[in-house]
Amino acid sequence: MIKLNVIKKLTGANGPFELNVETVVRKGELLTLYGPSGAGKTSIHRMLAGLLRPDGGLIEVNGQTWYSSNDRINLKTRFRSIGMVFQEYSLFPNMSVRGNLAFALPKGEKEEWIDEMLEMVGLSSLRHEKPTYLSGGQKQRVALARALVRKPQLLLLDEPLSALDTTMRNKLQDDIFALHKRLNLTTVLISHDYHEVKTMSDRVLVIEEGRLIKEGIPEDIF
């Protein structure tokens, strides 16, 4: 379970505003942050990841405090059990598919887990290829597998499919959702795509200018 209660002064298209969001993310839930660009969704991701320090509040993940303004705790990113996937693939071009996953493999984890993950995302036959020779959909599968090979407590997805064509996007939506369930992940997704949100989300938070405007299941929100 994730307890999130953060405050942060930000600047958007209409000038300065204060992000102030409080919610609880249940273990195994796929939560989507939905709303216009510049509303603060990516800032929430960055605060969860330890890349942006809140001005105040609390972030607690499965009983471990990642951030607390009261207790002056701000756990560094490398000590937070997270996996991150963005619109940009951010793969190492000089490494093979397998090499990209091996780079992210936690110390002490058996390398067989890499091969198991490649099998899950359907890339076993491409394990020795470099990213240059892969399609957009294949690159995003590598990015996803690299995030999951860490066995994170929290998976952060920031519009990971927006650069793909509709057919590939729909296929990867199904695959991500299946992996989310299979690995019992807790996932926070950012998306502007209505179909994506409706297909994948257990719950949706609508964020506007840093405020939680509405929350609920997709059928209620839309």
Where does residue 10 rank: exposed (0-12), middle (13-18), buried (19+ CB within 10 A)?
middle
Confidence check: pLDDT of 129 > 90 = yes
CATH number 3.50.50.60 is the correct assignment for the domain at 2-81+154-221: no
d(CA 204, CA 100): 32
Domain borders along the chain are 2-81+154-221, 90-151
Q: CA dihedral defined by 82, 104, 87, 201, rounded to 10 degrees?
A: -40
Q: How far is CA 31 from the centre of its chain?
A: 10
Residue 30's pLDDT is what?
Answer: 96
Residue linked to tokens 């057919």? 167
Q: CA dihedral defined by 85, 187, 215, 43, rounded to 10 degrees?
A: -40
pLDDT in tens, 135-154: 888 998 899 999 999 889 99
The verdict on pTM exceeding 0.85 is: yes
Q: How confident is the model at residue 195 (pLDDT cuts 50, 70, 90)?
A: confident
Residue 175's pLDDT is what?
Answer: 84
